[in-house]
Amino acid sequence: MIRSAAFAATLALASFAATGAFAQGKVTVVTSFSKDVTDPIKGAFEKANPGITLDVQNRNTNAGVKYLDETKSNPQVDLFWASAPDAFEVLKGKGLLQKYTPKAEGIPAKIGAYPINDPEGYYFGFAASGYGIMWNTRYQQANDLPEPKEWGDLATAPYYDHVAIASPARSGTTHLTVETILQGEGWDKGWATIKSVAGNFQTITERSFGVPEAVNSGQVGYGIVIDFFAFSAQGSGFPVKFVYPTVTTVVPANVAIVANAPNTKNAQAFVDFLLSPAGQEVLLEPAIRRLPVNPAVYAKAPEGYPNPFKDPRFAAMTLFDVDKSGARTDVVDTLFDQLISFQLDNLKGVTKAIHEVEGKLAKKDNPQARALLSEARGLIAAMPVSEAEASSEAIRGAFTGSKEKGARQAELEQKWAGFAKEHYAKAKAKVDEAAKLAN
Amino acid sequence: MTATAQKMARPTAAPEAALHTEALDVRIEGINLSYGSNHVLKDIDLDIHAGEFFAFLGPSGCGKTTLLRLIAGFNTADTGTVSVGGRDIGRLPPWKRDVGLVFQSYALWPHMNVAQNVAFGLEERGVARAEIRRRVGAALEIVGLSHLADRRPSQLSGGQQQRVALARTVVIEPKVLLLDEPLSNLDAKMRVQVRRELRDLQQRLGLTTIFVTHDQEEANTVCDRIAVMSDGIVQQVGTPMELYERPANLFVANFLGTANVVEGVVCGSGTARVFETTGGWRLPVASGAEVPAGARLVFRPQVARIVEGQAGVPALMGEVVRREFLGSLVRYGVASGGQEITVDEPFRPGQGQHEIGARVAVEVPMSAVLWLA
Amino acid sequence: MSLALSGAARTPARRWRLPGTPGQIALALGIGAFLVAFLIVPVGSVIYVAFTEKGSGTFTLVNFADFFRTDLFLRSFWNSFYVSAATVVLASVFALPLAYITTRFDFRGAVIVQTLGFLPLIMPPFVGAVSMQLLFGRNGTVNLLMMDWFGIRIPFMEGLNGVIFVQAIHYFPFILINLSAALRNIDRAMEEAAQNLGSSGIRLFRRIVLPLAMPGYIAGASLVFVKVFDDLATPLLLNVKDMLAPQAYLRVTSIGIADPMGYVIAVVLIVVSVAAMWISALALKGRDYATTQRGGGGLARRKMRGWESALAYGVVGLILLLVLAPHIGLLLLSFATIWSYSPLPDGFTLAHYGRVFGESSLYIKNTLIYATLAGGIDVVLGVAIAYLVLRTKLVGRQWLDWAAMAALAVPGVVLGIGYLRTFFGVHLPDGTPLATLWIVIVLALAIRRLPYALRACYAALQQISESLEEAAENLGATKARTVRRIVVPLMTGGILAGFVTSFATAAVELSATLMLVQSNADAPLAYGLYVFMQSAAGRGPGAALGVIAVLLVAACTLLSQYILDRNQKNRGAS
């Protein structure tokens, strides 16, 4: 009895405390950005808008989306603030965002080929980042490894077991990179490239930050990361280097106002601030180091700061089809998981064997062995679904649960995993054969 | 209860023949043991003969269990030696001593059944399987528990548990058998029965056995000789009758049976010595009696006699204050000179009794008294 | 759980026709309602998805068939099983010598060992795995030195090895604590009887001591098994995804995909965990030796000879070094300037502590409030459930026990989502959803840690002879007063042990918290730490916050240990 009374009292107390927290001029944001990013922006925003307090809730992108979905009946947050555009697409699709037309001026429609804002006005790009390769110099020197320049370098023998990437299913930015390669090189060739690099992976992390973390501490040599991870690590003094390959991806970071937000006005003020020159300039701070979407702001950037609006590396970016990407997001991520993440041991096994045989062939050539190797590569590259199928209703339905689905998601996954396993095993047999010839 | 009340089985072919036990003497010399400033055992010397049933008797805290555990190797003496069959075992760890100890709590392992408990010691000795089976069977037969071999200890009565503990110990054919208060966890009726069985078993196995108890009746009834202990000192060693008849000191006299101790002082010298009690009576000291300094007059209740009216011999005068009928005898309490003298008189039907309140004389046969300090 | 039966064996004659006093029935109903409201309904609201067809939402079992048809899930299942079993083995290797040496020998510092042995349970999220990587990873301190000296590299942290290694270090205290208690409770005569019959050393330990301590060992080992089976944080941080709990997490939280398989796995996790607890209870049925013995005095503590002593200190030192490695790494990290591909940090600084100093006080305050309240709720519920199960004949009382224990198996993220789903719709008078109150975090923590407190209270109550209560009732005390004046005081040790375990582990819990924290002002330390650990610059401050968390929890643990000792001394003196 005493206990329940105490419980009631605690509840009452708690509700009192919560009521008190409804201060005027509050705006709450759910974000995946680290403190290094949010703290300076919070400071600048509160200075520019006296009386409004910015309350930051840190969640990773996935948990944030889940959170907004679960709390939609009575939203308590005003803004969603994260990198991955696909997360915003999902939120938009679920009707969890509201439209707004920002007041900011001078922001172009596209960076490279990528549209900065949602054409329908549900979310807005406020910064861009480029993808590239980050490596630990101590690791690289201690293991006597080369400095990479291009994505393709990572597929070569010296990098075997030295590379890390975040899972595209968990990292929206990695997903964009994968999608960029697929769109740039075409479905089949793109997957072949991705798999050839994947054969050298040491690990596939579950969080975006897991990759720079592993490179920073020297557990992994090379990581495929967004530039600011590398730059902020350099800023903190870690022995890391970073390079943009000639074909890089621009990854926008976005902000959106939550549907039925309790403080819509303040939320709008935050979006406007973020896109204003004052807000954009904060992005240049060393700890944040993102690329502003307002080209004018680069005038204040330090020497050597990459400018995606002028830098040819960014201009070379392929034409990116957002609709195409959106239609097959789940399929691409699941394919990556089933063909690469969960078959990594098999894939690495055959890749290692290929590297070894190639090493021997470089010394003493054998055309028959070369033919076998190329057959093996073909087997590795083979895909269980074609580009057209990937976007088909039948397969998409398996993920979204629509009526037209041809099979359940679990059935597809099992099928794809079996496909990959079988093909990698066949490829391994070919390579083993080649190895005998090469001796 | 029904199971424990069974007599130990008496098989036709004696099962103890399967166990090869031998009788060895145990010699304890100059043992001292202290826990910090607490001197627990003081200069213990004991000579226990081969095949003897020997008791350590004394009140709790006298050191008897400590001494027993020392023989088993669970305590280490500061000085002195323990030897069995002429071999010094003082430096051996408990598991190399071959000294069988039956614990007061029995210490049966609850995770093993009866047969496993009994087999344990043999397995530790690496005895062959068939031999283990044979000897475990024999040991259980000796204690009459063959039919309970598969039971867990928790399913047994107290008496049965004790027999298992006994079987578990004798099956290893120990050089000496040590029993730590083996009867204390049994009810009164069982005690009488089990102590006879213990005696019987000891006789059949011929094992030198040391029995720790605080109960003089237990010690008297089963043991050949007893070491009476108090305050970490062996007060006296002897057969039960010797100890009863000729206790070495007041402690032994009091601890074994009932004794009247009369306070007073000896006056005079030579043949004219007189014991003057604190109550004021004067009793002549028998000539030739050795009276140590500060000694008191000690006699057993059954040697004195109550006389109504004038006594013919030196006597203590008093009043009957208590009468207890004990069947074969009647025990009187006579208040005399500020203390109560106990006198036992045989009960003979038809013969009159002394009444409470009667003025009586307690005749003390001075030749049969003891002078103890 | 099994002992519910023995508790029912002798119950004093009842005056009432009801199966218990009205108070007992009310208590049982109250607890039942609490568990339904804060455990069963929220979890049910999440995992029912496992039984529905995607899209249409109609009832189906096909998802379970899919589970058994999919190689990945089967592989994950076996990996989880293998990792859990191997962790129990490795944790036993750590725990056995520590428990044995400290309880069996005259060992100076036994108290310190027992206290330090508790510390690994208090491992804040993220930083533990990071510091383990820095020490034992492929290019961690140990392997860099090994490469330098011998040219070899030991794959401590590769794949499943890493999970087993980290989990064993993290959870071995469960075995240590339970095994030590069991070893202390063994009647000394049990061991001496064996020595007397010629047994010694390892054989004595294996044949007598260990079997007698088995109930304690199994209690600890089953807890370790279940925790490892259900834990998702460690495998995910080590990037091991083909285990059940990570699979469930990844699928439940994947964006935009309504994948029922995540919930199917959650159901499997719960079923396996409950089955594991049930099997261990069966194995222990009727074997609670420690409490059935007469006499006592515990194991004889033997003095060690010179070389034995040296060996013992060596072994204890080595194990402590190993199990405290995450904490040592954490401490180094919190003072490190840069630590990258080198055996030790490049330099040391106090700056990280300076950075977290200001904000940590808020986190500390929140952590203390949440963990204390959660621990308090847990012991109150624990005592009540233990009492109802062991001392009453209420119908279905074991269900309270089972339901509470099932919480062990509910992944934190499932509970978190369930709370959001259930309590966001419940509005307070002013319109705020119930789920936004910090008290909901407390309730989630309390539910998550209830099994620990419950087991401790259960064991404590089991060791109290019922005749002590009967004596009080005989002298005129009502049931309620008997509980207050006799039962609870006698259970103090167990209650406090339960509180400490719940408190300490709740203080570093993240998975449920992460879903439920609504504002920075309500955030506990673990959340603050998570926020820091998302950036390169935050690694040092995060570690500093981790050190603060560990110190804080350790201090509270020591304090309650001290109070416990003093209480017991007082009771011994009176």
Query: For residue A260, what is the domain's CATH number?
Result: 3.40.190.10
Looking at B197, B224, B254, the residue that finishes a domain is B254
CATH of the domain at B149: 3.40.50.300
Q: What is the DSSP string of B263-331?
A: -EEEES-GGG-EEEETTS-EEEPPTT----TT-EEEE-TTT-EEEESS-SSSEEEEEEEEEEE-SSEEE
Q: Residue C59: its pLDDT value, please?
A: 86
Domain check: are A76 and A210 in the same one? Answer: no
Cβ-based burial of B271 (10 A; exposed 0-12, middle 13-18, buried ≥19): exposed
Within 101-120 of C, beta carbons closer than 8 Å to A belong to none
Within 154-173 of B, beta carbons closer than 8 Å to C belong to 154, 165, 168-169, 172
Residue C536 has its nearest CB partner, among A232, A333, A402, at A232
Q: Residue B239: its pLDDT value, please?
A: 94
Looking at B201, B224, B254, the residue that finishes a domain is B254
Low-confidence winner among B114-118, B167-171, B284-288 (lowest mean pLDDT): B284-288
Domain check: are B179 and B264 in the same one? Answer: no
Average pLDDT over residues C107-118: 81
Chain A closest CA to C365's CA: distance in Å? 15
Cβ-based burial of C132 (10 A; exposed 0-12, middle 13-18, buried ≥19): buried
How sure is the predictor about B188, in pLDDT bands with cuts at 50, 70 and 90? confident
Looking at A315, A346, A366, the residue that finishes a domain is A315
Strands laid side by side in the B305-308 sheet: B305-308, B359-363, B315-325, B329-336, B339-346
Distance CA A433, CA A429 (A): 6
Within 35-94 of C, beta carbons closer than 8 Å to A belong to 54-56, 62-63, 66-67, 69-72
Phi and psi angles of residue B266, each rounded to the nearest 5 degrees, phi first: -90, 130
Q: Residue A357: its pLDDT value, please?
A: 93
- Would the CB atoms of C531 and A209 count as touching at under 8 Å? no
What average pLDDT does the structure give for chain B? Answer: 87
Cβ of residue C255 closer than 8 Å to a chain A Cβ: yes
Question: Is residue C266 a contact partner of residue C394, using CB atoms and an 8 Å limit?
Answer: no
Q: How far is CA A301 from CA A233, A295, A298, B352, C565, in A?
A: 19, 10, 5, 131, 64
DSSP code at position B261: E
Chain A closest CA to C331's CA: distance in Å? 16
Average pLDDT over residues B322-326: 89
Distance CA C566, CA C560 (A): 10
Interface test with C, best of A11, A74, A205 (most C CBs within 10 A): A74
Interface test with B, best of C197, C199, C293 (most B CBs within 10 A): C197
Cβ of residue B347 closer than 8 Å to a chain C Cβ: no
Domain check: are A93 and A21 in the same one? Answer: yes
Cβ of residue C348 closer than 8 Å to a chain A Cβ: no
Interface test with C, best of A2, A3, A331, A340 (most C CBs within 10 A): A3
Question: Is residue C73 a contact partner of residue C251, using CB atoms and an 8 Å limit?
Answer: no
Domain check: are B273 and B351 in the same one? Answer: yes
Residue of A nearest to C521 (CA): A55
Q: Which chains are within 8 Å of B by 3+ CB pairs? A: C
3-state secondary structure C266-322: HHHHHHHHHHHHHHHHHHHCCCCHHHHCCCCCCCCCECCCHHHHHHHHHHHHHHHHH
CATH of the domain at B282: 2.40.50.140
Distance CA B320, CA B330 (A): 12
pLDDT tens string C208-256: 888 888 888 888 898 899 889 988 888 888 889 889 988 888 887 776 5
Domain check: are B48 and B138 in the same one? Answer: yes
Cβ of residue B33 closer than 8 Å to a chain C Cβ: no
Domain check: are B84 and B225 in the same one? Answer: yes
How sure is the predictor about C18, in pLDDT bands with cuts at 50, 70 and 90? low
CA dihedral C23, C28, C29, C31 (to 10 degrees): 120
- CB contacts of C417 in chain A (<8 Å) are 66, 70
Looking at residue B286, its amino acid is A
Question: Is residue B314 a contact partner of residue B305, using CB atoms and an 8 Å limit?
Answer: no
- Would the CB atoms of C198 and B95 count as touching at under 8 Å? yes
Using beta carbons and an 8 Å cutoff, which residues of C are at the interface with B? Answer: 187, 189-190, 192-200, 203-204, 207-208, 211-212, 214, 287, 289, 292-295, 300
Phi and psi angles of residue B339, each rounded to the nearest 5 degrees, phi first: -135, 165
CB atoms within 10 A of CB A437: 17
Cβ-based burial of C530 (10 A; exposed 0-12, middle 13-18, buried ≥19): buried
Is residue B83 pLDDT above 50, yes or no?
Answer: yes
- Would the CB atoms of A400 and C258 count as touching at under 8 Å? yes
Q: Residue C288: its pLDDT value, please?
A: 55
Domain check: are B13 and B131 in the same one? Answer: yes
Domain check: are B237 and B368 in the same one? Answer: no
Domain check: are A97 and A134 in the same one? Answer: no
- Would the CB atoms of A410 and C253 count as touching at under 8 Å? no
Cβ of residue A400 closer than 8 Å to a chain C Cβ: yes
Long-range contacts of C372-376 (CB under 8 A, 24+ apart): C372/C503, C373/A10, C373/C442, C373/C446, C374/C442, C374/C443, C374/C445, C374/C446, C374/C449, C374/C502, C374/C503, C374/C506, C375/C446, C375/C449, C375/C453, C375/C499, C375/C500, C375/C502, C375/C503, C375/C506, C376/C499
Instruction: Name the domain count of chain A.
Output: 2
Distance CA C337, CA A98 (A): 44
Question: Is residue C458 a contact partner of residue C389, using CB atoms and an 8 Å limit?
Answer: yes
Which residues, given as ranges, of chain A have pLDDT below 70?
Answer: 1-24, 315-319, 402-406
- The half-sphere exposure of B61 on its side-chain side, counting CA atoms within 13 A, is 2
Q: Residue B165: its pLDDT value, please?
A: 92
Q: At what angle do helices C261-284 and C210-230 cross, to 10 degrees?
A: 170
Question: Is residue A136 a contact partner of residue A239, using CB atoms and an 8 Å limit?
Answer: yes
Domain check: are A394 and A406 in the same one? Answer: yes
In total, chain C counts a number of residues equal to: 574
**Spatial CA neighbour of A125 closest among A81, A157, A187:** A81
Q: How far is CA C407 from CA A3, B348, C400, C505, in A?
A: 21, 81, 11, 14
Looking at residue A1, its amino acid is M
Chain C closest CA to B239's CA: distance in Å? 29
Q: Residue C300: its pLDDT value, please?
A: 57
- Would the CB atoms of B95 and C292 count as touching at under 8 Å? no
Residue of A nearest to C242 (CA): A342
Q: Give, rounded to a whole angstrom, the gap between the first and last alpha carbons of chain A.
A: 83
Domain check: are A229 and A341 in the same one? Answer: yes
Is residue C375 pLDDT above 80, yes or no?
Answer: yes
- Would the CB atoms of B95 and C189 count as touching at under 8 Å? no
With a CB cutoff of 8 Å and minimum separation 6, the contacts of C375 are C446, C449, C453, C499, C500, C502, C503, C506
**Coil, strand or helix at A98:** strand
Residue C197 has its nearest CB partner, among B105, B121, B185, at B121
Domain that holds residue A100: 2-129+252-315
- Would the CB atoms of B154 and C203 count as touching at under 8 Å? no
Residue of A nearest to C514 (CA): A59
pLDDT tens string A37-93: 888 999 999 999 988 999 998 887 877 888 888 888 888 899 999 887 778 888 898
Chain B closest CA to C295's CA: distance in Å? 7
Give the residue carrying structure tokens 């424990």.
B4
Highest mean pLDDT among B198-202, B281-285, C512-516, C555-559: B198-202
Give the residue carrying structure tokens 């974000």.
A31
Cβ-based burial of A6 (10 A; exposed 0-12, middle 13-18, buried ≥19): middle
- Would the CB atoms of C337 and A237 count as touching at under 8 Å? yes
Is residue C463 pLDDT above 80, yes or no?
Answer: no
Domain check: are A224 and A95 in the same one? Answer: no
Q: Residue A24: its pLDDT value, please?
A: 59
CB atoms within 10 A of CB C147: 14
Q: Residue C168: its pLDDT value, please?
A: 94
- Would the CB atoms of C54 and A411 count as touching at under 8 Å? no
Cβ of residue A218 closer than 8 Å to a chain C Cβ: yes
Distance CA C205, CA C126 (A): 39
Q: Which two tokens stand for residue A62?
A: 């996935």
Domain check: are A261 and A198 in the same one? Answer: no
Average pLDDT over residues B97-110: 87
Distance CA C529, CA C544 (A): 9
Instruction: Name the domain count of chain B.
Output: 2
- CB contacts of C380 in chain A (<8 Å) are 3
Q: Which two tokens stand for residue C443?
A: 């309730």
Where in chain C are the domains? 18-59+351-568
Domain check: are B221 and B317 in the same one? Answer: no
Interface test with A, best of C242, C244, C340 (most A CBs within 10 A): C340
Chain B closest CA to C116's CA: distance in Å? 31
- CB contacts of C207 in chain B (<8 Å) are 120
**Spatial CA neighbour of C530 closest among C504, C556, C502, C549:** C549
**Spatial CA neighbour of B139 closest among B16, B308, B261, B289:** B16
Domain that holds residue B78: 2-254
Domain check: are A215 and A332 in the same one? Answer: yes
The β-bridge partners of A111 are: A114
**Spatial CA neighbour of C196 closest among B86, B75, B44:** B75
- Would the CB atoms of B93 and C200 count as touching at under 8 Å? yes
Question: Is residue A16 a contact partner of residue A10, using CB atoms and an 8 Å limit?
Answer: no
Interface test with A, best of C341, C342, C420, C530 (most A CBs within 10 A): C341
Chains A and C, touching by 3 or more CB pairs within 8 angstroms: yes
Distance CA B109, CA B79 (A): 34
Residue A57 has its nearest CB partner, among C56, C70, C518, at C518
CB-based burial, A96-123: b 16+ in 10 Å, e otherwise? bbbebebebeebeeebbbbbbbbeeebb
Domain check: are B88 and B237 in the same one? Answer: yes
Phi and psi angles of residue B32, each rounded to the nearest 5 degrees, phi first: -125, 140
Looking at B224, B254, B284, the residue that finishes a domain is B254
Domain check: are A287 and A329 in the same one? Answer: no
Write down the number of H helices and E strands in chain C: 28, 0
- Would the CB atoms of C254 and A414 count as touching at under 8 Å? no
Ramachandran region, residue A15 (left: φ > 0; alpha: ψ -120 to 50; beta: rest): alpha
Domain check: are B241 and B356 in the same one? Answer: no
Looking at residue C454, its amino acid is L
Q: Residue C371: its pLDDT value, please?
A: 92
Domain check: are B348 and B236 in the same one? Answer: no
Looking at A299, A315, A331, the residue that finishes a domain is A315
Question: Is residue A225 a contact partner of residue A211, using CB atoms and an 8 Å limit?
Answer: yes
Phi and psi angles of residue A432, each rounded to the nearest 5 degrees, phi first: -60, -40
**Spatial CA neighbour of A430 closest among A382, A370, A381:** A370
What average pLDDT does the structure give for chain C? Answer: 82
- CB contacts of B97 in chain C (<8 Å) are 196
Question: Is residue C156 a contact partner of residue C136, using CB atoms and an 8 Å limit?
Answer: yes
**pLDDT higher at C397 or B6:** C397
Is residue B237 pLDDT above 80, yes or no?
Answer: yes
Domain check: are B97 and B178 in the same one? Answer: yes
Domain check: are B222 and B361 in the same one? Answer: no
Pairs of CB atoms within 8 A across B/C: 83
- Would the CB atoms of C198 and B168 count as touching at under 8 Å? no
Long-range contacts of B75-80 (CB under 8 A, 24+ apart): B75/B33, B76/B33, B77/B31, B77/B32, B77/B33, B77/B41, B78/B32, B78/B33, B78/B34, B79/B30, B79/B31, B79/B32, B80/B28, B80/B29, B80/B30, B80/B31, B80/B32, B80/B44
Question: Is residue B332 a contact partner of residue B306, using CB atoms and an 8 Å limit?
Answer: yes
- Would the CB atoms of C200 and B110 count as touching at under 8 Å? no
Looking at A284, A315, A346, the residue that finishes a domain is A315
CATH placement of domain C18-59+351-568? 1.10.3720.10
